[in-house]
Structure 1
Amino acid sequence: MLNKSLPSVSHTYQHHHLDSTRWNAFSPCDGDVVVASSIKSGTTWTQWIAVKLLLSDYNPKSLLDIAPWLDWRTDPQQDPLQDLIALLEAQPHRRIIKTHLPLDGLPYFPQVRYIVLGRDGRDVAVSLWNHYGNYSDELLALLNSHEGVSFPPRPETFQEFWADWISKGWFDWEQDGYPFWSHFHFIQSWWEYRHLPNIIFVHFADLLADLTGEIQRIADHLGVSLSATRRSDIAEEVTFENMKNDAKKYAPLFEGEFKDGPEAFFHKGTNGRWKHILTDQEIAQYESAVTRTLSPECAAWLEHGKDAL
């Protein structure tokens, strides 16, 4: 179902990772780009595509220097919000900002171009399991430094993690995603506004299957003219292998966040591993969670990408 009104904020997201109120300090500029995903859905991949499209002559040392995660609830002593806003306001080019917020927690700006990412939730869960297991003691301590918030260490088994992730939400209005945030509520909140001309949906499976085609779609959405040669060059620069080989630059990590270093951020970059992990009962749980939260059209797109449209 399409929502004919414009998006508006109806929830505040504040916990160990997220603080949606940080967006209150943000002033949009014409042509800003917001890359939005729940988690483990090709966020970093797409941010780099946007960087290559918009800033072809710029070679940042790190993604953190050019495309920050605004709603990341960091330690205010180490990363004051005003410093991040100053970084953005000093950028003379089109800016790229990352968010993991549903659209009901994010201010909507008509002059901003949004790229919304999706991925089959079963692939997300398997990827997130590996991601979660690489959290360092330092990162866990940071996540638990906020008053009244307790972020648990990863459970001993995937089955324990899955049981909570598929059936329990952190926020009262969510029904999955624990202890992070809801994958399904995120995508449904955006899906209802897919008719808006400044919002485009990009699926992880489509990036895998047709990277050059998806780069062209993103370029068209951003109003960037792109030659066939440049499109092929970008596709080569942002392959999974190339990003993993230069992970210190490509991974959006601060020093010490991952036990095994930035290379571990790029784990497999594939789909379908859940088929060898989930039991029939767990697949049934997944299907129930999808039906509970997603419209049929959104559910079909989340599973199949553009083949469902």
Structure 2
Amino acid sequence: MAQTVEWPKKAREIHNHHFDSTIWNDFAFRDDDIVVATYGKSGTTWMQQIVGQLLFGGDPGIEVATMSPWLDLRVPPKAEKLPVVEAQTHRRFLKTHLPVDALVFSPRAKYIYIGRDGRDVVWSLYNHHANANRAWYEALNDTPGRVGPPIEPPTSDVRQYWRDWMDRDGYPFWPFWENVRSWWSIRNMPNVMLVHFADLKRDLPGQIRRIAAFLDISVDESNWGAIVEHCSFDWMKQNAPKSAPLGGVFWDGGARVFINKGTNGRWTDTLTADDVNDYESRAVAELGADCARWLASGET
């Protein structure tokens, strides 16, 4: 007798300056939907680009920020966002930064979760936050529907930014450990695949093949070279307005700030040995040894 799968069930809502998780309650899934999930600054846009290139055969003109919206971002509100997504006729690929228990999880969809070492996440978050402009703050803080305090400009000290993020679990964004833990806990679900940022850097073609197989996408080999090229970080940086939300208008320096460096280890020149030990010990305590090892390197 086949074993019954116990699908995750939504247990709570999350609201803040970014999130309105209730949009998933009203979202009508289709059988071939794809959900790209991360904590944030972990390769989300990179994965959206990969999925878009696989779906559209290496088309250089697709704009994933428009085609693949961040569904639980509270702006624009769900009354505007849902009809646009529901009108899409291509295979939909959506983005979320929610932990599993705040998401409506559907057996009809396929989920790709991307992990990245938390120290690299913070350095990328800092660039994202420090270069945000007035329009970014106005959209998040001043539009109707915000719950809780506004998001404030960051400190000029990146190490203090990292310390605040550690001490206040994801501040000023949202909790980190529960996000990783929630997705790791369902990694063996038949419609879930975990991908690591470091593996995308080590073997991008191999990871794209793996993702295509998981999504049941047959690759036209005549388009393979274009697909790989358009998923390279250099190509995405050169064509950043196609990937960044609204073409990058929320960041001083534009879309090339949003698509920043794509490098790991920038924290090594700033964090002390005690800082590193603090993070690594915390990761094991929060996630367990196996998940902590995977998050650090992609190794299982």
TM-score range, shorter chain: over 0.9
1:197 aligns with 2:182: no
- AA in 2 matched with 1:136: N
Question: Matched residues in 1 for 2:115 and 2:147: separation?
Answer: 32
**Which runs of 5 or more residues in structure 1 are unaligned?**
169-175
In structure 2, relative to structure 1, the CA distance for the partners of 1:233 and 1:254 (3 Å cut) is closer
Alignment match, 2:254: 261
Give the superposition deviation at 1:58. Answer: 6.0
Alignment match, 2:15: 14
Question: Matched residues in 2 for 1:265 and 1:111: separation?
Answer: 32
- 8 Å CA contact retained: 2:248, 2:256: no
Question: Matched residues in 2 for 1:216 and 1:295: separation?
Answer: 30
Instruction: Output one character per residue of 1:148-173: Cα deviation in whole Å (capped at 9) or x when no partner.
Output: 422111112112211110121xxxxx
Give the superposition deviation at 1:125. Answer: 1.0
- AA in 2 matched with 1:220: A
Instruction: Output one character per residue of 1:62-92: Cα deviation in whole Å (capped at 9) or x when no partner.
Output: 3232100000011xxxx34233211111111
1:108 aligns with 2:105: yes
3-state SS of 2:120 partner:
helix
- 8 Å CA contact retained: 1:216, 1:231: no
Alignment match, 2:218: 225
Alignment match, 2:166: 166
3-state SS of 1:166 partner:
helix
- 8 Å CA contact retained: 2:58, 2:226: no
Question: Matched residues in 1 for 2:42 and 2:184: separation?
Answer: 15
- AA in 2 matched with 1:237: H
Question: Matched residues in 1 for 2:118 and 2:174: separation?
Answer: 12
3-state SS of 2:206 partner:
helix
1:275 to 260, 268, 273: 268
- TM score, norm. by length of structure 2: 0.92
- 8 Å CA contact retained: 2:57, 2:219: no
Alignment match, 1:172: none
3-state SS of 1:144 partner:
helix
- AA in 2 matched with 1:27: A
Between stretches 44-53 and 233-242, larger displacement belongs to: 233-242
1:52 aligns with 2:53: yes
Question: Matched residues in 2 for 1:304 and 1:18: separation?
Answer: 29
2:242 to 245, 249, 265: 249
1:125 to 119, 122, 127: 122
The alignment's C-alpha RMSD in Å is: 1.7
1:141 to 133, 138, 142: 138
Instruction: Output one character per residue of 1:238-296: Cα deviation in whole Å (capped at 9) or x when no partner.
Output: 11111111111122345631111111112111111121221112112212321231021
Question: Matched residues in 1 for 2:147 and 2:123: separation?
Answer: 30
In structure 2, relative to structure 1, the CA distance for the partners of 1:11 and 1:203 (3 Å cut) is same
Instruction: Output one character per residue of 1:101-121: Cα deviation in whole Å (capped at 9) or x when no partner.
Output: 010110110010000000011
Between stretches 144-153 and 131-140, larger displacement belongs to: 144-153
Give the superposition deviation at 1:61. Answer: 5.5
- AA in 1 matched with 2:287: L
3-state SS of 2:95 partner:
strand
Within 5 Å, which residues of 2 pair with 1:33-48? 33-48=34-49
Alignment match, 1:291: 284
Give the superposition deviation at 1:134. Answer: 1.0
- 8 Å CA contact retained: 2:42, 2:115: yes
3-state SS of 2:245 partner:
coil
Q: Percent identity?
A: 42
- 8 Å CA contact retained: 2:7, 2:107: no
- TM score, norm. by length of structure 1: 0.90
